[in-house]
Amino acid sequence: MAGKQQFIHNWVSNLMKSMDSHLDETTKIKVLEECGRSCAKNNIKKEALKFKGKLDSWLSKMKQWVGKDNIQKEENCVRVIYSKCLCTMVKDIPPILSGTYCNCSRGWMLEIFEIVLEKPIEVRLEDSIMKGGKECRFTISF
């Protein structure tokens, strides 16, 4: 791991340990959710805006990133599966961070799907690699 990447990894790891030690569960989730929303706004919002009101088209786009079998649309929800962590800050490191960290991805999904669907939604983090799971699984309910 390169020097800068190792520094970032160590910094994020220490931040997560500190948050887990000093913050209650609700606060930790809210902080990481806001980080994910901010990431989405800064990195992919422009792309998502092209798909406002076009959920099926957005899901086709996402399938390019996560694989066609990793997005399942049902009547009032979408299930998204990542076979590996996609966060650019930690994707190349072993899964040693707290599972709390994955609420950042949850916030990312909240932000993007609310843009596409043009309404508030709910995202449940079902499992994650950082929590020891084989994959990251989210359910987006609308």
Two structure tokens written together for 134: 């084989």
pLDDT at 5: 78
pLDDT at 90: 73
**pTM, 2 dp:** 0.90
Rounded CA gap, 139 and 142, in Å?
A: 10
Rounded CA gap, 109 and 103, in Å?
A: 10
At 3, the pLDDT band (50, 70, 90 cuts) reads confident
Rounded CA gap, 97 and 49, in Å?
A: 32
Percent of the chain with pLDDT over 90: 71
Mean pLDDT, range 56-85, rounded to an integer: 94
> Which of the four CATH numbers 3.30.450.40, 3.40.50.11890, 3.40.50.300, 3.30.1380.20 does domain 3-141 have?
3.30.1380.20
What residues does each domain of the chain span? Answer: 3-141
DSSP labels, 1-47: --HHHHHHHHHHHHHHHHHHHHS-HHHHHHHHHHHHHHHHHHHTHHH
Instruction: For residue 43, give the amino acid letter.
Output: N
Check whether 93 has a pLDDT greater than 70. Answer: no
Mean pLDDT, range 15-20, rounded to an integer: 93
Rounded CA gap, 53 and 57, in Å?
A: 9
